[in-house]
Amino acid sequence: MEETREDLKSILPYLPLIHRSLSLFWPPKALESLKALALGPDLSRVDSGEVLFDAILDLRESVGLAGDPLAWRAAEGYALFFDELISRMNSRVWFGEVIPALANLLLRLPSLLEAHYHDSDGNVGEGKSGLRIMYQQEPGIVFLNQELIAALLACAFFCLFPASTRGENYLPTINFDYLFASLHPNFKQNQEQKIKCLTHYFERISLSMPTGFVSFERKVIPFEQSSFSISYPEAVLWRKSTVPLCPFKAFSSGLIEDQKYDALEVDFANEYLGGGALHRGCVQNPPTAMKSKSVRLLVALSIPWMV
């Protein structure tokens, strides 16, 4: 993998991996911890939500994130969910099958990313469809296969993404610590259901990994265009615009995916795509995002503030 890839360079500070000698690696201690988790609870001793969170802390320390604190009460949230809110049978499945499967998936993350960047150049040109930071008013497209998406979501579950510098590029939350922390102290049913949605996804991929692709494209309407250059409007232009909307019809019932004709979905809920899906949000944006976890992950990881 080329040392000078700009797309990889832009995203590396937000990944828990090491880039050396044209390859991606897990730090040695993280590699050993993941191998232990992959062997199951008899060897890893991870058989409860409380112990799982301890394993998460160990993993974070092994990738250099010990000084980057997690959300307050995240530990209680992981313990509450896996030790009390799900059945004993489901808990045994999680620690006996799902956690080892996710650990094995994370062990493949470096090779999945290397293959992604190698293959992405054949989509729309070198450096134009790989995972990368896309800045405000920057059009572009990203292609990811679903196994890589699953591995990145597993990173989020184990809270392995560096978070301290995400705000510099207006990147929203991606680790699951705030989501689990929101179960405490004022437990709400909608938070439990959001987590169940995600854990069900992990259960499904541990049984059968999907093989398709997901693309996310940002299109920016140009303000002016000439034979020499294209200029794009600043966000303030859209905020102050007084141009009337085109004629449209609004329906008070039904789902957008059930419409018989072409339709656009308008989202007014949040300045970030996905909104507060990984916090306490539960209005239009977060539920929509939870239905489409792959897109939510892609947006959270690589696309800054969308306004």
Closest by CA position to 93, among listed 191, 179, 204, 210: 204
pLDDT of residue 83: 95
Quote the CA–CA distance of 171 and 165 in Å, as a whole number: 9
Q: Would the CA dihedral through 103, 191, 217, 138 be positive or negative? A: negative
Q: Provide the pLDDT confidence category of residue 79 given band limits of 50, 70 and 90.
A: very high
Q: What percent of the chain has pLDDT over 90?
A: 43
193-218: pLDDT as tens digits: 888 888 999 999 999 999 888 888 88
Q: Which residue has the higher pLDDT, 201 or 219?
A: 201
Structure tokens at 53: 């969170």
Q: Which residue has the higher pLDDT, 170 or 104?
A: 104
Q: Which residue has the higher pLDDT, 93 or 282?
A: 93
Mean pLDDT of 74-99: 95
pLDDT of residue 63: 97
DSSP 259: -
Q: Which residue has the higher pLDDT, 211 or 276?
A: 211
Q: Provide the pLDDT confidence category of residue 27 given band limits of 50, 70 and 90.
A: very high
pLDDT at 187 over 60: yes
Residue type, 108: R
Q: Would the CA dihedral through 22, 151, 75, 52 be positive or negative? A: negative
Contact assessment for residue 68 and residue 162, using Cβ atoms and an 8 Å cutoff = yes
Cite the beta strand spans of the chain per DSSP E: 18-20, 23-25, 140-145, 213-218, 224-225, 230-231
Quote the CA–CA distance of 296 and 58 in Å, as a whole number: 27
Structure tokens at 46: 């991870």
pLDDT of residue 103: 98
Contact assessment for residue 188 and residue 196, using Cβ atoms and an 8 Å cutoff = no
Q: DSSP readout, 200-254?
A: HHHHHHHH-----EEEEEE----SEE-SS-EE---HHHHHH--PPPPP----SSS
pLDDT of residue 277: 58
pLDDT at 54 over 70: yes
125-175: pLDDT as tens digits: 676 888 888 877 788 888 889 999 999 999 999 999 998 888 777 777 889
Average model confidence (pLDDT) for the chain?
82
Helix 189-207 / helix 293-302 crossing angle, nearest 10 deg: 100
Contact assessment for residue 74 and residue 178, using Cβ atoms and an 8 Å cutoff = yes
Quote the CA–CA distance of 249 and 301 in Å, as a whole number: 34
pLDDT of residue 224: 63
pLDDT at 36 over 70: yes
